[in-house]
Amino acid sequence: MRAVNTSASAGTRAPYQATFEELGTPLRDVTFVVVDLETTGTNAKEGGITEIGAVKVRGGEVLGEFQSLVNPGQPVPAFVARLTGITNAMVATAPDIALVLPSFLEFAHNTVLVAHNAPFDVGFLKAMCSRLDYPWPGFTVVDTVPLARRLVTRDEAPNHKLSTLANLFHATVSPEHRALADARATVDVLHALFDRLAPMGVTHLEDLATAADPVPPEVRRKRHLADGLPDSPGVYLFRGPGDEVLYVGTSVNIRKRVRSYFTAAEKRRRITEMVRIAERVTPVACATPLEAQVRELRLITEHAPRYNRRSKFPERHSWVRLTDEAYPRLSVVSGVVAGAAHIGPFGSRRTAQEAVHALHDALNLRQCTARIPLVSKRPGSPCALAGMGRCSAPCVATEGPDTSYADVAEAARDALTGDPAPVVRALSDRIAALAHQERYEEAGEVTRRLRAFVHGAHRAQRIGPLAGCAELVAARPSGIGDAPGKPGGWEIVVIKHGRLAGTDVSVPGASPLPLVDALRTTAEHVEPPVAPAPAAHPEETDLLLAWLDSPGVRLVHVSDTWACPVRAAGAHADLTWASERVRVEIGEGAETDVGSGAGAGSGADAVPGAGAGSRAHADLAAGAGEPADAAAPVPEPANGRHVDTMTAC
C-alpha cells in the first residue's frame, strides 16, 4: 500500500553499499576476442574474406589464438595482394568461409569482440552470417578507433591508424596487414588505452559504451553517483555541496537515467554545469511512473531547484474571470472565487490576456475597470469603444438597468463555461475576412487570441469536473502503456479533487479489490478547493487526466458526478472548423495558420484529452484476467443539457 507523500524527508535514505553486480563487470574479468580480417575489398555485400585472425585475452593474459586463410570465392585484386601479401595461389586451397566461420563463432562465443575500425570487420562478419543463414550472435563490440581519438592527442600521434598507435604504445608486434599480426598489435593497443581510461573512472565493461564520448573528465569522474541507485521508476534529486537540491528529474529507470548525465548523451550546458557541482544523488523509488511524475512535480515546487526550468512557481498561473458586479467584465486574476465563471489556468499572464482580447473581439463586453452602479444618477460619457460599436456602454443608462448588457454578460458566461461556438464562429469569420483582404499579420494575431481562449476554456472544463470530485478510484492493467512490470496486476490510483492521494500496484494473479479498499483507507486527506481550481498544481491534474485517458483504464469508484458538457471547448481545440471557414473564403489551395499547431496537445497551456479509456469498475472484480471492452453507460440529460462521460472532455 502506498499513499503519496513528498515532504522534504521523502528523499532521505540510509547509507547504502553497492554490490559489485550493481557496479558492472570489471574489465579484468571480461573475456575479449580481438579480431582482424583481410578481405578482397571494402564492400561487405560484394567482397569476400581472405583471412581471419583473432586473439582471446582476459585480465591481460592471452587465452588462445585463431588464424585461418579463407577462400573468398572470387579473385584477389592485385592491389590487395600487394598490400597484404595474400595471393590467389595462397587462398586457392584454403577452406571456404562456410567452414571457417562456424569455428570462429565458437571461438568467440560469450566474449566481447574488439577490432580497430570495428564497423569494417564486424560488417563483413555479419554479411557472411547473413549469406550463410547463420543468426548473428549479438556480440558486444568495442572499437579501438574512437577510444584512441578520445585518448590520444594530435601532439602524440599524427593519426589514429593501427600502425601509428602500435608504434606509440611500443606494441610487441608490428601490424603488417596480416590478420593475426594485426590482431596481436590491437591487443597491445587495447591494453594501453585501458591504462589511460582507468584514471578517468572507466574500469567496467558498461563504461566502455560511452568511454569515447567527449565528456569533460570532471563530469566523467562523477559516474559513481549513479552507483547503488535502483533500477525502478522514481524521482532522483541531484544535491550540491550544502545538500541543496540542484535538479529534480524522473525516469522509469532511475539508475540508467542518472548514468546518462555523465555521457555525451547529455547536451544541455546548464545540466553539465549542474553535474560539476553535484555531490550526491538521492533516489525516491515509486510504485508507478505516474507516481514518479507527480512526485517530481511536487518536489520541484517545494525546492524550486535552480537548474529546473518548469513548474517551479504554480502561483504564477493566471485565470480569466468574469467579475461579479452589476455590469460584469473580464479580469486576469491569480486565483479563483466561488460562483464566478473562469477559464484557465494559463501558463502566463500574457496568454491569459490574449484570451481576454479574443472575447472582447467577439462580444461587446465593457473593458473599463470602473465599478458601474446598476442605475446611474447622471449619464456617463461613452468611451471610444462604444462609438466603434465594440461596447454596449452600460455607463450611459440612467432610467433603469441596461438589460441589453445582461444578454452580453450571459453570452460571455456561456462561452467561458459551456459552448464557445459563438466566439469561435465570430472570430473565424473575422480571420477569414482579414485573410481575404491579405491582412495576414492581423489574421495571425486574431488566430493566436482565439487559440488562447479555446485552450483556456478547454482546460478549465476538463480540470473543473475532476477538481469537484471528492474521490475517484481508477485502475489500469500493469505492464501496458508507460508502466513497466509484469502484466497481470493492476495499477490502482486514488484521486481527490484533482490531486493524487494514493497509488500502488496489485500482485499479479490476486484480486485487486482488497488493495483498493486499503488505498482508500490510507489515502491522503485533501481539502476541497474552489472549483475549477484543483487541490494540486494544475500540471499534476493534467498528468492525472492524461493517465485516465490512457488505454485500459477502468473506473472503480466515483463519489460525485464526473462529467462535462458535450458541446464544450474540446470540440474546437484543433480549430479545424475555423480553418475550414478560412479556406472557403480565400480558396481551397490557400495556406493559413488557423489550424496549425492548435491541437489540444500543443502549446504551454494545451492539455491532452481525458477519460476516453475509462470503463465501468465491474471489469476489476474479475481479478487479473483480460479486461472487458464494455463501455460505461452514458448518463441521462441533466437540466435540459446533454452530458457525457469524460470522453466528451
Q: What are the pLDDT digits (tens) for 418-427?
A: 888 889 989 9
Task: Please say if the pLDDT value at position 8 is more than 90.
Answer: no
- Mean pLDDT on 405-427: 88
Percent of the chain whose predicted confidence (pLDDT) is above 90: 49
Mean pLDDT of the chain: 81
**If pLDDT is split at 50, 70 and 90, which confidence band does 19 have?**
very low
Which of 68-77, 84-93, 360-369 bottoms out in mean pLDDT, i.e. has the lowest? 360-369
Q: What is the pLDDT of residue 603?
A: 35
- The answer on pLDDT for 639 being more than 60 is no
Cα 348 to the chain's mean position, in Å? Answer: 22
618-642 burial, b at 16+ Cβ within 10 Å, e below that, comes to ebbeebbeebeeeebeeeeeeeeee
Confidence of residue 389 (pLDDT cuts 50, 70, 90): low
Residue 643 has pLDDT above 70, yes or no: no
pLDDT band (50, 70, 90) for residue 230: very high
Select the more confidently predicted residue: 244 or 21.
244
The pLDDT, as a whole number, for residue 453 is 93
Residue with cell 464557445: 420
| pLDDT tier, 18 (very low <50, low <70, confident <90, very high otherwise) | very low
Q: What's the pLDDT at 270?
A: 87
The dihedral over CA atoms of 265, 266, 272, 275, expressed in degrees to the nearest 10, equals: -80
Q: What is the percent of the chain with per-residue pLDDT over 70, rounded to a whole number?
A: 77
Is the pLDDT at 444 greater than 60? The verdict is: yes
pLDDT in tens, 521-531: 999 999 999 98
pLDDT of residue 582: 56
pLDDT at 286: 92
For residues 334-355, give the mean pLDDT: 91
In angstroms, the first-to-last Cα distance of the chain is: 31
Burial of 235 (0-12, 13-18, 19+ CB in 10 A): buried
pLDDT surpasses 80 at 385 = no
CB-facing half-sphere around the CA of 86: CA atoms within 13 A: 28
pTM: 0.62
Note the pLDDT of residue 205.
Answer: 86
Q: What is the pLDDT of residues 465-479, one digit of tens each?
A: 999 999 999 999 987
Task: Grade residue 311 by pLDDT with cuts at 50, 70 and 90.
Answer: low
pLDDT at 90: 94
Say if residue 267's pLDDT is above 60: yes
Residue 493 has pLDDT above 90, yes or no: yes
pLDDT at 589: 46
Residues taking part in catalysis: 177
* Of 50-59, 81-90, 370-379, minimum mean pLDDT range: 370-379
More confident residue, 53 or 649: 53
Q: What share of the chain is helix, strand, coil (3-state, %, to 5)?
A: 40, 15, 45
List b or e across 520-544, with b for residues whose CB sees 16 or more CB atoms inside 10 angstroms.
beebeebeebbbbbbbbbbbbbbbb
* Res. 105: pLDDT tops 70: yes
Cα 29 to Cα 21: distance, rounded to the nearest angstrom: 12
- Of residues 215 and 183, more confidence is placed in 183
β-partners of residue 341 are: 322
Write the pLDDT tens digit of every residue in 551-571: 999 999 999 888 877 778 877
Q: Which residue would you say has higher pLDDT here, 284 or 216?
A: 284
Say what the pLDDT of residue 363 is: 87
pLDDT at 398 over 50: no
Cell numbers 533516489 correspond to 283
Per-residue confidence (pLDDT) for residue 394, from 0 to 100? 61
